[in-house]
Chains A and B, each alone.
Chain A
């Protein structure tokens, strides 16, 4: 991943060009460069790693602080064109109050601008696809978790989008329902659509994915086909959290070292260091303590550094 070549931009790709998004002080995702081809792509990472943030950016629900995003050449700030192409099934388990499954899907299809007859036909087709046609007469409020997941999916794909963005679509489903959905994803992928699926468990999706994007703490730590991802991850820097009385002094000293990739002041007592060589980092830290009398409270690997994420995602024993 070189920092200066822009990602290749062909028509049918989702392109993130150096995208960062913060929520106030909190990092959502940072310096993301991606170029996602059609097929099934999995976004994998633990809770809070930025999967939803990336999907929200892709669908224009939030805007980047830096960088640009295009979906099949369309800016995410152009809803009138974007949402003929894109359907997004969010993680949010909420529905407009008081509507039946049918009203839910039909009403938003009218908002797309379809005529009543066409909205009717499309609602019926997507409900049938997700096997929800019979249940759709009932109020969504009375649906089980699995049914809510399916009606949400039916709504997201009701306009037959080329790009389907699905945030944890397998969550809360029993094995049968999962198998059915996975078969659908495969079908859509084979039709040349983009199917972007997020999950925090890699083995849940690695079988079906044409490619995988691993996220950790808002960074894309690996990207590509599953084999490539495995080796890429083990070369990644690790993060160490230092609590001390003068973190800026420590930061200034550590920046001179070439194994330190990044140092980030979390607050006035905490420094987050990313290093390629943990052993040398600990030696350097001792030097600084001796020379400047720094008062250190704690030094610990950041709870989910990339290696532990890797272990968590890919599972023990598979490390190369």
Chain B
């Protein structure tokens, strides 16, 4: 049995140091190789910046209220379901797979480090990257969409609801990175070819409104969609989704998502533990 005393006597200091060492090395390596996700992260920024540029020429009639509602839709459909989803898929599925194809995983496996610590260190490194790039990107694109209003923009940001909304979007984007990061770390460990699994996760996330209540909870989007600070303008078939889903309140959704992520991370650690180094012939 695991009791509090034995948990306390575990070498947490050493584990933390090792996890940080892994994270450091992963960041050192990843900034030299994988840059594809930067293009993904730039998409919403380009869209909202473009909007501001065109709107400032006076060709569009918009208002701050309209722009923030449009942003709510951009956030739900472009940022959450596309940019963060595929960005995290790209980053986290290669966390171990990348080392295997590079044939360098054994260097980690030959250090006096628990595999759980290795998985945690990798998750930490890629989570830091995802948070800066995707959550930061969400905040920046929110900031940019109303920029063209000039003084009114600053009024909205500083005295209106702007800062509050931006903080919420950043938080939701961060939660999405945490959840999808954990899921795709696991997917990368479980499947040799993660593409099919990524597609399966995508389908699962999108049929979420139609699932029975219990199954809904095993999905990231279930926790996130109710957290938007501004309602998404729904028309036609999209409104059906809205009717079917009654959003979870934030005080349940945030711990719910964190619990889901922890469980998934636990499974990832288990499967890292069972892993063998075999680079094939």
Interface residues of A (CB under 8 A from B): 23, 56, 59-63, 79-84, 86-88, 90, 92, 94-99, 103, 107-108, 110-113, 155-156
> Cβ of A62: which chain B residues have Cβ within 8 Å of it?
276-278
Write out the residue numbers on chain B whose beta carbons fall within 8 Å of the beta carbon of A80. Answer: 112-114
Residues of A near B111 (CB, < 8 A) are: 79, 83, 108, 111-112
B112:A110 contact, CB within 8 angstroms: no
Contacts of A84 in B (CB 8 A): 112
Query: How far does the alpha carbon of A87 sit from the alpha carbon of B18 in the complex, in Å?
Result: 18
Determine whether the beta carbon of A96 is less than 8 Å from that of B276. no
The 7 residue pairs across chains A and B that have the minimum distance between CB atoms: A98-B32, A110-B21, A94-B103, A83-B112, A61-B277, A107-B25, A111-B21
Q: Which residues of B contact A60 (CB under 8 A)?
A: 109
Of chain B, the residue at the smallest CB distance from A81 is B112
Write out the residue numbers on chain B whose beta carbons fall within 8 Å of the beta carbon of A111.
Answer: 18, 21-22, 25, 108, 111, 113
Does B14 have its Cβ within 8 Å of any Cβ on chain A?
A: yes
User: CA–CA, A17 to B171, complex, Å?
Assistant: 55
Q: Is the CB of A94 within 8 A of B104?
A: yes
Q: Tell me the interface secondary structure of chain A in the complex.
A: mixed
Given contacts A110-B18, A113-B17, 7 further A-B contacts (CB under 8 A): A61-B109, A62-B278, A86-B110, A96-B102, A99-B29, A112-B112, A155-B107
Q: How far is the CB of A111 from chain B (nearest CB, A)?
A: 5
- The verdict on A108 contacting B107 (CB below 8 Å), with A79-B114, A96-B29 known, is yes
B97 interfacial contact with A, CB 8 Å: no
Q: Which of B18, B21, B22, B29 has the most CB atoms of chain A within a 10 A radius of its CB?
A: B21
Interface size on B, residues (CB 8 A): 28
- Docked-complex contact B113 and A97, CB < 8 angstroms: no
Q: Does B192 contact A (CB under 8 A)?
A: no
**Sampled A-B contacts (6; CB under 8 Å):** A62-B276, A79-B112, A96-B104, A98-B32, A112-B18, A112-B111
Cα A8 to Cα B219 with chains together (Å)? 54
Chain B: minimal CB distance from A183 (Å): 25
Q: How many whole Å from A43's CB to the nearest CB in chain B? A: 18
Residue from B33, B112, B115 whose CB has the most chain A CB atoms within 10 Å: B112
Point out which of A99, A112, A155, A156 has the most chain B C-beta atoms below 10 A from its C-beta. A112
Q: Is the CB of A61 within 8 A of B276?
A: yes
A81, A94, A103, A112: the one contacting B102 at CB < 8 Å is A94
Between A83, A99, A107, the greatest number of chain B beta carbons within 10 A of the residue's beta carbon is seen for A107
A113, B113: Cβ atoms closer than 8 Å:
yes
Residues of B within 8 A of A81 (CB): 112
Q: Give bound CA distance, A95 to B21, whole Å.
A: 17
B256 to chain A, nearest CB (A): 34
Tell me, yes or no, whether B279 is within 8 Å of chain A by CB. yes
B113:A79 contact, CB within 8 angstroms: yes
Q: Is the CB of B112 within 8 A of A97?
A: no
CA distance A63 to B115 in the complex (A): 15
Do A110 and B32 form a contact, CB below 8 Å, given A80-B113, A95-B104, A96-B104? no
Q: Which residues of A contact B21 (CB under 8 A)?
A: 107, 110-111, 113
Cα A132 to Cα B96 in complex, Å, equals 29
Q: Complex Cα distance A107/B32, Å?
A: 16
Known interface pairs A98-B29, A103-B28, A113-B112; A90-B102 also in contact (CB < 8 Å): no
Question: B24 near A107 (CB under 8 angstroms)?
Answer: yes
Instruction: Considering the complex, give the chain A residue whose CB is closest to the CB of B107.
Output: A108
Nearest CB in chain B: distance from A54 CB, A:
14
Inter-chain contacts of B103 with A (CB < 8 A): 92, 94
Give complex CA distance A108, B22 in Å: 8
What sequence of 0s and 1s flags, for each residue 254-281 of chain B, a beta carbon within 8 Å of any chain A beta carbon?
A: 0000000000000000000000111100
Are A110's CB and B33's CB within 8 A? no
Give chain B nearest CB distance to A231 CB in angstroms: 35
CA distance A87 to B114 in the complex (A): 16
Nearest Cβ in chain A — how far from B24, in angstroms?
7
What distance in Å separates the Cβ of B211 from its nearest Cβ neighbour in chain A?
38
Contact: B110 with A88, CB < 8 Å? yes
User: Closest CB of chain A to B6's CB: distance in Å?
Assistant: 15
Please measure, in the bound complex, the distance between the C-alpha atom of A155 and the C-alpha atom of B113, giving whole angstroms. 16
B107 neighbours in A (Cβ, 8 Å): 96, 108, 155
Measured in the bound complex, the distance between the Cα atoms of B22 and A147 in whole Å is 25
Which residues of the other chain, A, contact B276 by a CB distance below 8 angstroms? 61-63
Closest CB in chain B relative to A269 CB, distance in Å: 24
CA distance A23 to B24 in the complex (A): 34
Shortest distance from the beta carbon of A26 to any chain B beta carbon, whole Å: 10
Closest chain A residue, CB of each to CB of B99: A96
Q: How far is the CA of A46 from the CA of B196 in the complex (A)?
A: 40
Q: Are B102 and A97 in contact (CB-based, < 8 A)? A: yes
The residue in chain A whose Cβ has the minimal distance to the Cβ of B101 is A94
1/0 contact trace for B71-107 toward A, CB 8 Å? 0000000000000000000000000000000111011
